[in-house]
Amino acid sequence: MAAGDITLFNEFKEDVGQKIHNLSSDTFKLGLVTNAVTPAAATTDPRWGAGGSTNLSSSETTPGGNYSAGGATLASSTWSETGGTATFDAADVTIAQNASNPNNARWAIIYNDSSAGKEAVAFVDLGGVTDLTAGAFQITWSASGIFSLT
């Protein structure tokens, strides 16, 4: 896996069929976790909090500075279909530099903040432990969206 790769959790694919996620109207967030956890597509029932088999928030970086507990909201998220391809997208995520920001982020977790179960959608490989005190932190999504279903 290369830095910047986005991997959907297998459980997310099942959750869509069970109407847990409304990609058009739910609020999605991007939380940062340490290297104490290594997410994989096959991670069992990944969630941001208790209730599933894997509580990813238990490895969240320590909130501080410009990083709030639970992470950043994915602003302007959209779910659209064109020519048989459905795409989920959102505005890029930026966390401004601050000396009190976390200095040990390894993975970014996209999860559904509207769902009572806070089910996880995907994870982003940050390529290694990332220090958010050293400069502005930004995830720039692909021009073709965060992910597509074809």
**Tens digit of each residue's pLDDT (9 = 90 or more) over 83-92:** 999 999 999 9
Structure confidence by residue, pLDDT tens digits, 9-61: 999 999 999 999 999 999 999 999 999 999 999 999 999 999 999 999 999 99
**Cβ neighbourhood burial of 103 (10 Å; 0-12, 13-18, 19+):** middle
Query: Within 13 Å, how many C-alpha atoms sit on residue 22's CB side?
Result: 7
The arrangement of strands across the sheet holding 78-82 comes to 78-82, 85-89, 147-149
Q: What is the pTM of this model?
A: 0.96
Percent of the chain with pLDDT over 70: 98
Q: Are 85 and 149 in contact (CB under 8 A)?
A: yes
What is the β-pairing status of strands 120-130 and 6-8?
antiparallel
Smallest Cα–Cα separation from 20: which of 122, 117, 90? Answer: 117
For the beta carbon of residue 56, count every other beta carbon within 10 angstroms. Answer: 23
Smallest Cα–Cα separation from 55: which of 29, 74, 33? Answer: 33
pLDDT in the model for residue 68: 97
Segment holding 13, helix H or strand E: helix 10-17
**Cβ neighbourhood burial of 119 (10 Å; 0-12, 13-18, 19+):** buried
